[in-house]
Structure 1
Amino acid sequence: MEAERVREIIAEKQVISHQNVWRKTTNIRLAILYLLPSIILFSVFLFYPMFKTVYLSFFLTDARGAAAVFVGLENYLYLLQSARFQKSMVSTSLFVLYTVPTSVIIGLFLALIANEKLRGIGFFRTIFSSTMGMSVAASAVIWLFLFHPTVGIINNFLGLFGIPAVGWLLDPTWALISIAITTIWMNLGFSFLIILGGLQNIDTHLYESANIDGAGYFYQLRRITVPMLSPTLFFIITITFINSFQSFGQVDILTRGGPAESTNLIVYSIYQDAFINYQFGTASAQAVILFLIVFVLTFLQFKFGERKVHYQ
Structure 2
Amino acid sequence: MQNSEKAFERPFVLNKAASPAKRKRLRKEQIIGYGFIMPSVILLSAFVFFPFFQSIYLSFFMTDPIGNIVAFVGIQNYMDLFTDPEFLNSLKITFLFTIYTVPTGIFIALLLAVLTTSKAKGMKVFQFAFSLPIAMSVGTSSVIWLLLFNPTSGVFNYILNSLGIPSVHWLTDPNWALTSIALMTIWMTLGLNFIILLAGLQGIPKDLYESAKIDGANQIQLFFKITIPLLSPTLFFLLIISVINALQAFGQFNVMTNGGPMNSTNVFVFSLYQEAFVNFQFGLGSTRALILFVIILVLTWLQFKVGEKKVHYQ
- TM-score range (shorter-chain normalised) is over 0.9
Q: Which residue of 1 aligns with 2:44?
A: 42
Aligned partners of 1:276, 1:38: CA distance in 2, in Å? 32
Q: Which residue of 1 aligns with 2:96?
A: 94
What is the letter of the counterpart of residue 133 of structure 2?
T
Aligned partners of 2:102, 2:171: CA distance in 1, in Å? 21
Aligned partners of 1:23, 1:288: CA distance in 2, in Å? 45
What is the letter of the counterpart of residue 148 of structure 2?
L
Give 1:16 deviation, angstroms: 3.1
Give 1:34 deviation, angstroms: 1.1
What is the letter of the counterpart of residue 283 of structure 1?
G
In structure 2, stretches of 5+ residues that fail to align are 1-14
What is the letter of the counterpart of residue 127 of structure 2?
R
What is the letter of the counterpart of residue 251 of structure 1?
F
The aligned length equals 300
Aligned partners of 2:297, 2:277: CA distance in 1, in Å? 25
What is the letter of the counterpart of residue 218 of structure 1?
I
Q: Secondary structure at the match of 1:69?
A: strand
Give 1:289 deviation, angstroms: 0.1
Q: Secondary structure at the match of 2:260?
A: coil
Q: Which residue of 2 aligns with 1:170?
A: 172
Residue of 121, 144, 147 corresponding to 2:146:
144
Q: Which residue of 1 aligns with 2:232?
A: 230
Aligned partners of 1:238, 1:265: CA distance in 2, in Å? 19
What is the letter of the counterpart of residue 237 of structure 2?
F
1:54-203 pair list within 5 angstroms: 54-203=56-205
Aligned partners of 1:300, 1:28: CA distance in 2, in Å? 38
Residue of 299, 302, 305 corresponding to 2:301:
299
In structure 1, stretches of 5+ residues that fail to align are 1-12
> CA offsets per residue over residues 56-101 of structure 1, 9 Å max, x none?
1111001111222110111111110001111000000100000110
Aligned partners of 1:17, 1:96: CA distance in 2, in Å? 60
> CA offsets per residue over residues 189-246 of structure 1, 9 Å max, x none?
0000110011011000000001111100000000000000011111111111111111
Q: Which residue of 2 aligns with 1:251?
A: 253
Q: TM-score, normalised by structure 2?
A: 0.92
Percentage identity across aligned positions?
50
Q: Which residue of 2 aligns with 1:262?
A: 264
> CA offsets per residue over residues 103-154 of structure 1, 9 Å max, x none?
1000000001111111011111111000011111110011101111111111
Question: Quick check: which has more Rg, 1 or 2?
Answer: 1
What is the letter of the counterpart of residue 198 of structure 1?
G
Instruction: Name whichever structure is richer in helix by fraction.
Output: 1
Residue of 270, 273, 276 corresponding to 1:274:
276
Q: Which residue of 2 aligns with 1:310?
A: 312
Q: Secondary structure at the match of 1:162?
A: coil
Aligned partners of 2:43, 2:245: CA distance in 1, in Å? 22
Give 1:19 deviation, angstroms: 7.2
What is the letter of the counterpart of residue 295 of structure 2?
I
Aligned partners of 2:76, 2:20: CA distance in 1, in Å? 56
What is the letter of the counterpart of residue 270 of structure 2?
Y
Q: Mean alpha-carbon deviation: is it higher for 14-23 or for 159-168?
A: 14-23
> CA offsets per residue over residues 28-79 of structure 1, 9 Å max, x none?
4332211000000000110011111111111100111122211011111111
1:14-29 pair list within 5 angstroms: 15-16=17-18, 25-29=27-31
RMSD, aligned α-carbons: 1.5
